[in-house]
Structures are given as C-alpha cells and as structure tokens.
Structure 1
C-alpha cells in the first residue's frame, strides 16, 4: 500500500507508470537508475537472475535494494541508516539516495514540500486531512536557520524530518485500510452470520467464510478492498484461502482444486 500511496500523493510519473502498465515498481526503478550504467537489460533485474548483478559489481541485487530502500529513502533515512539496512557501504548508501532523488524528481519534490510545510506550520496531514502534530518544531525550525554545525536542536529538527513523509504516506495507507475494513464489515453482515471479519494484519484482512463460498462472492470481497478509495493508480489485492493459519493457497489454485487443496486436518496438500 505505501508505495502506491506515495506514487499517488507525489504524482511522480515514474512511480505511477508500473502500476498503470502492469509493470514491477522495483524492477522498473532499478532499470531506470542502473540499467544504462551497468549495461543490464530489464530481465536481468528480476530476482530470478542472481548472477548478473554480481558480475557487474553491484553491491546487492538491485530489485531487492529498491524494495528495501525506496521508502526508507523517502522517509529521510540517512546514508548510514540505509547502508546498515541494505548491508552496503555508507558511500553506496549515499549514492542510492542521490540516484533516487535525481531519477524520481517529483517524489523528491513531494518530500521537500512536505518538510517545508511542517517547518512552517508545525504539522503535516494525510490525504484524508488527519493531522500529525510536531509540538515546538515550528520554533525549532526558525532557530535552526541561525545554527552552525551539529547541535541538540539540529538533531531534534532532523528527527522530525525523518517522520514527516512517513506520517503522511503510512498514515494515508492506514486510513485506506480502515475504509476497506468498514466496507468489508458491511459486506460480511450482508452475506450472513457465517461470514466474519476476524482480524487485520497490517494491510491484510482475515475473514472466516463458509465452504460454500462462490466465485461471485470472492469478487465481492475483492471489490470491498480495491474500491475503498479512488487513486490516480489502481489499488490491488490478492486473495488466499486457508483452513489453518499460514497454510494458504492462492485463490486461482483453490478455484481449480477446491477443498482438495487441504487434508482433513486442514494442512495444505503439497
């Protein structure tokens, strides 16, 4: 959810394009940044290829790097923090940040605008208008203009900056999830007492449904999720079916095999 929200809120065309064309955000981002520099074709950025990046001298698989580092970079993680996260050198961490900023300028501008807003007003907002307040930050931002070098104020100032884009992006994703939960709860009540919304795990919902569930009802469940809000890019959800926690099979497999996906005890059949 968060990369989709970021792509929408920043209106960065290069972040939005994979979602509009059915591409892979992390592969497309890696190709954009590293493709020409390392003379690599798109298929060589897929995780299935675990050799080309080593031969080219990249510090880590580029798709995995972008999957881990994209949001961290947007959330103002330092070069040192990124190097620790990606297991790369501090210099490579700074290069990753610089590459991202230069190749996704609209996303970078969104981050800068968000930080400038919180400096001026002392709070930031989600897409739905909820405020994340940062007490005293406004006065600290005014004072920091006259500070030179590292000071406790500078540390406090930077700490807020590392939270702003996170608060806006992650906060909006949480709001969308809450809308989806309300829609799902209404659907469960409409379908009957055997249908229950059990729990949420980050951006996933756990439902209890009868064995007689139909293809049409699966579609209703999907629509309750992806119809939660309209963004500039489509929302997407995956459905998995299980009888025991974590013993799940993709919906496509369940529709082909039905209950034979599981044994009598509910374990997934290999």
Structure 2
C-alpha cells in the first residue's frame, strides 16, 4: 500500500501488485507486529537495520545512498528467494484464502480511503483548543490554591513533593508514584486529587487531539490517516498518523473532537455501526442456544442476561441490573477474571465470582467453548478465527502464573475479536463492490473498529442508507442476525 501511494504520487501505474510479503509474513507470525519483527520471523538477515542506516559509523561518517542500496539489494534478493516458500506456508497453515480473498483485496480499498481522506475544520480545533486551555488555567489555579504554592503540575517529582510531603497524603505502597491508578486510590482523601485527574484528562485531550490532529491537516484541508493491516495480533485494523480510532465516544471531552470532522456543502457523513458484534460472534462460535435464541428474537441481550443471572423477569430488570449484566457479557468476551470484574463493578470478588458462576450456568455452551479454547491453545500454542487467522500465544504455557493467566484471557478473546475483525474487513470489501455496482458518487472514508464512515452526496442519502444497511447485514451468514445501525449528520459528531 505504501508503494502504491509512492508510485501514484509520481504518476506511475500502481495497481499491478499481486503480492504483499509483509502481510504474508504477518499472517504466518501474528506476534510480528512491526517490520523488524516480520524480517526476523522470515529469517531475513540484512547487512544493517533500516534504523541504523542513518547513524554514523567509523567507516561511514554519515548516511550514504550506497549503504541504503546494500540493504535494499539484500532484502529484495532474500524476499524473491522466499516468496514461493511463503505461499506454500500460507497454504499449509490454511490462511491462503484469508490472504488472497480478504487481506490483499483490502489493500486497494484502504489505499482509496487514504487517498480520499476526511475534511476537518481547523477553526473548530482552534476554538476548542482555546476553551480547553481556559479550563486548564482555571484548574491550575485551583490546584495551586489547594497546594498553597505554585509548582509544575506536569512534573511527577514536583507533584509527588506536593502530595506526599506538603499535604502528607499516603498512597500505600508506591510512596512517590503519581500514576493514574495511585491517584484514583487517593480520590476522596483531598479535593486536590479530583482537580489533578481532571487537569490530566483535559491536557491529554488537548495534546492528543488538538495539537495531534492539527499537524496532520494537509493542504486540501483534510486528514489522510494510514490504516495498518499488520499491527495488531487480533487482526483488527489500526490507524496511525494520526490515530483516528482513539477518539473517544464515551468521554464527552473526546467526543467533542468529532465535531471537527465535517462533510463539505452538498454532502453528509453517514456512519454505520455493527451492533454488539462480538457478543453475536460469541453466540455463533460457542453455539450457545439461549444467546442465539435471544438475538434471533430481537431481545435486548443485556436484559436477557440480567434475567438469567438475577433469576428475575424482564420487567424486574432495572438500570443497575442491566449494567451489571452488560459488564459481565463483555467481560466474558475479554476473558475477564473475578478480580477484574470486581474492580470494574466495585463489588467484592466473592460477588463477582457468584455473577460469573450464574453466567456460565445460564450459558453452559459458552463455558464449554472457553475451556476448549484454552485446552487447544495449551496444546498447539495458538488459537484461530473463523477464517483461520492465527494468534500465537506462547504465554499460555509460561512458568509465571500471571503470564499464563494473560495467555488464557488472550486465548478466549482472540478468536472472537479476530473473527469480528475479519467480518468488518469482508463488509468493507462487499461495500466497496456495492458502491461500484450502484455507480454512486458516495465514498467510504474511515473504519473505526465496528463502524464505517461514508461521504454521501445529499441526493444519494436515501439510497445509501438502504445500501449500506443491506450490505453490512448480509456480509456473513451467522446463526444470529447481523445488525447495523445507520446515522447521518453534517459532522462525525452528529452522525454518531
């Protein structure tokens, strides 16, 4: 994909690639999530690394084209020698179809999305940035007032001095730490703590989103993020320069940033979001009858789970019970432990254990499925998705208990999250084809986890809402229906 951009920039034909050996190498080695790791996994040895080529050596006082040429010569020669063996390995490990039918065609779709980019209003970022700075100044004054002195709030050393020496607060174990988890434990012990946590949150939004996004605005007043196919072990796409997948939807401060992403005159943004995709995938993969039935009947899955773990009728499920059921539902998908659940719900480990016991009794096939995944992973060292995407998990047989527990959680989660990632990629390919077949001007712009965002001319809005919903909901045949919710707005904020 990078090469396609490079060739396109200089007016060359770019749609001639039939292979991407980085993707092939990654599919065979899921832990190799950067270029150096892929080269190592493929046993490719270079005269020096790409990182070192710009460094001075005794022989070469600075970077030289000759040194870089030597690396590329060595790399291309070794890749050429290995390409047939790589293909044979893909076939042997049953991932050739994943490579040829999903990942390779997707490079072209992602290339087009990156070329198109998304419009952004720099003036909104400036205004919002100024507002955040005002809030930071006001908070800083409150913090200085609590401390009885002016100090650098961003300096861990100075902050530790204020909290533990001036205000005599005690954090238990890590005496001098000012990390987020230590500050969370200090909440309620002094009003300065809430203000510091709020200050940090706003400062992070300001640096990550205001400054972070502004430096990536191009001359066309758009942001052109890069989508990476080889950076996450579960197979999810990631986004970088800038990362648009970390713009929070739950946090109001972060959510506001979505107002900066806009559709130009005569257009709207359309957002299509898969509903509860990982739970639907879990129901299908575990073949869990109760859950399949609930989804097929269109019931609210969290209310259904609440009736099972609390032994009550749907009418008796209040917000509190539903929230617990929702947390348990998603916790199970991520292989959550009793300890993790108890801290998230702020309940005792015993209560958390009771909820998990009731959950597995209510959904016995899920319990069985999770145990099968762990046993399979212990024996083979990996788990796989519906499309045979592998995730190697060497941690599952580690000597260290905590490492093994991490391995178990990963073994339970990776097939579900990875299958959901494969599904959204298939949906993108089908969507790309549907746009061509319908001969529309609408374009796919972004993929944010389970959400796709399109730029749609006003006159195509009705057609596109129908087309996107139909295409996404029929992307795969599962034992439960796929549901995509569609929303439209002039900005990404409005369309969500």
TM-score normalised by structure 2 residue count: 0.43
State the shift of 1:24 in Å: 1.0
Unaligned runs of 5+ in 2: 1-276
Distance in 1 (alpha carbons) for counterparts of 2:338 and 2:394 = 27
1:230 is matched with 477
- Contact kept, 8 Å, 1:5 with 1:173, in 2: the verdict is yes
SS in 2 for 1:248: coil
State the shift of 1:180 in Å: 0.5
2:467 is aligned, of 220, 225, 236, to: 220
1:28 aligns with 2:304: yes
State the shift of 1:220 in Å: 1.6
1:99 is aligned, of 347, 350, 358, to: 358
Higher relative contact order (CA 8 A, sep 6+): 2
1:12 is aligned, of 276, 280, 288, to: 288
1:70 is aligned, of 316, 326, 329, to: 329
1:181 is aligned, of 419, 428, 433, to: 428
2:442 is matched with 195
1:118 is aligned, of 367, 373, 377, to: 377
State the shift of 1:25 in Å: 0.8
How many residue pairs align between the two structures?
A: 220
State the shift of 1:41 in Å: 3.0
State the shift of 1:46 in Å: 4.7
State the shift of 1:74 in Å: 4.2
1:243 is matched with 490
Deviations 1:113-162 (Å, cap 9, x if unpaired)?
01000011111010111111123745x4xxxxxxxxxxx52222211001
- Contact kept, 8 Å, 2:395 with 2:407, in 1: the verdict is no
1:85 is matched with 344
SS in 1 for 2:353: helix
TM-score normalised by structure 1 residue count: 0.76
RMSD: 1.8
- Contact kept, 8 Å, 1:30 with 1:62, in 2: the verdict is yes
Distance in 1 (alpha carbons) for counterparts of 2:299 and 2:395 = 43
- Contact kept, 8 Å, 2:441 with 2:456, in 1: the verdict is yes
Deviations 1:19-78 (Å, cap 9, x if unpaired)?
11111111011101213xxxx43122153xxxxxxxxxxxxx111111122131343322
